[in-house]
């Protein structure tokens, strides 16, 4: 499914695509473009996409990465699905708060809580 | 705790290729900040702001023209880290950028770089015609 040089790992957990990042820094534009392409393809190929993006281990995040998350969120909603985010360390949470994107995204403390949040939907 | 006493660290570099060169500049600047024992939160703020500034220069300033460069200059001492990021574009009016935090703009996927720079740095302003960003992190004010 994912190309060999993929910067993400995707695991299916009871119908939810759990996404984790290989790198600590999500800054490089070409890497972000590749991640975006892979995630959008996965959402487009799912009838009702349910995606959990875990930021476990991520230390830095740029506004280009935020843009990708917004696009993924919009497409997921459009297809009747849902995107949730989890495991965001405090320094990165501040980026979400400053940009007020904490109002746009469903953010859970842990992946487990996020998975519970998908419920039976 | 007082930071170690060193003479200021200064540097200047012209970047031609964003994907290959940005990381090297970031590492050089991180080394200089570490020399003055800047705290982790300051390192985070500066790395993010520099990333956004350089990317804005390549993308919105130079419009991805591979013949144009983005110049980065820095002066770092124990009290302040000052940066100039200069692209070769025509410049822009930073006040004309829509506020991305308004509810109606929250779902627009771009336009957050400059607001992050303003939030994380002590001062950030453009020199006319708007292709030259000067930003500084004042250690005592922010950390």
Domain ranges of chain A: 8-118
Would the pLDDT of B47 be above 90?
Answer: yes
Question: What's this model's pTM, rounded to 2 decimal places?
Answer: 0.91
Structural domains of chain B, count: 1
According to DSSP, residue B50 is labeled H
Backbone φ and ψ of A95, nearest 5°: -65, -40
Would the pLDDT of A2 be above 80?
Answer: no
The domain covering A8-118 belongs, at the CATH homologous superfamily level, to STAS domain (3.30.750.24)
Taking residues A34-57, report their average pLDDT.
96
The ipTM (two decimal places) reads: 0.89
Interface check B3 vs A, CB under 8 A = no
Max Cα-Cα span within chain A: 36
d(CA B45, CA A116) in angstroms, rounded, equals 33
A contact test, residue of B39, B47, B48 with most A CBs within 10 A? B48
Chain B residues touching residue A73 (CB < 8 angstroms) = 107
Query: pLDDT class for A95, splitting at 50, 70, 90?
Result: very high
Taking residues A87-106, report their average pLDDT.
97
Query: pLDDT class for A1, splitting at 50, 70, 90?
Result: low
CATH number of the domain that B137 lies in?
A: 3.30.565.10
Give the DSSP H/E element, type plus range, for residue B76.
strand B70-76
Q: What is the pLDDT of residue A121?
A: 44
Contact A91 B100 (CB under 8 A): no
Interface check A71 vs B, CB under 8 A = yes
Q: What is the pLDDT of residue B44?
A: 96
More confident position, B2 or A31: A31
- The answer to whether residue B99 is domain-embedded is yes
Q: What is the pLDDT of residue B15?
A: 94
Q: What is the pLDDT of residue B89?
A: 97
pLDDT in tens, B56-82: 999 999 999 999 999 999 999 999 999
Q: What is the pLDDT of residue B18?
A: 79
């Amino acid at each position: 499914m994912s190309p060999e040089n993929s910067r993400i790992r995707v695991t299916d957990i009871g119908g939810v695509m759990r996404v984790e990042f290989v790198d600590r820094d999500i800054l490089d534009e070409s890497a972000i473009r590749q991640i975006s392409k892979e995630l959008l393809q996965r959402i487009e190929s799912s009838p009702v996409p349910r995606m959990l993006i875990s930021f476990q281990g991520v230390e830095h995040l740029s506004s280009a990465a935020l843009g990708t998350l917004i696009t993924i969120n919009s497409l997921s909603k459009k297809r009747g699905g849902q995107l949730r985010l989890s495991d965001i360390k405090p320094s990165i949470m501040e980026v979400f708060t400053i940009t007020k994107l904490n109002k746009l995204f469903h953010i859970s403390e842990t992946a487990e809580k996020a998975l519970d949040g998908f419920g039976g939907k | 705790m007082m930071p170690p006493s060193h003479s200021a660290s200064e540097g200047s570099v012209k970047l031609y290729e964003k994907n290959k060169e940005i990381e090297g500049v970031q590492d050089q600047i991180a080394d200089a900040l570490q020399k003055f024992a800047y705290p982790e939160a300051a390192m985070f703020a500066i790395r993010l702001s520099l990333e956004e500034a350089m990317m804005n220069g390549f993308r919105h300033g130079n419009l991805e023209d591979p013949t144009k460069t983005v110049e980065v200059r820095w002066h770092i001492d124990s009290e302040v880290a000052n940066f100039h990021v200069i692209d070769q574009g025509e410049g822009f009016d930073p006040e004309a950028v829509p506020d991305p935090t308004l509810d109606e703009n929250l779902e627009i996927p771009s336009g957050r770089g400059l607001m992050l720079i303003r939030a994380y740095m002590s001062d950030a302003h453009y020199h006319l015609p708007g292709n030259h960003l000067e930003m500084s992190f004042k250690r005592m004010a922010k950390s």
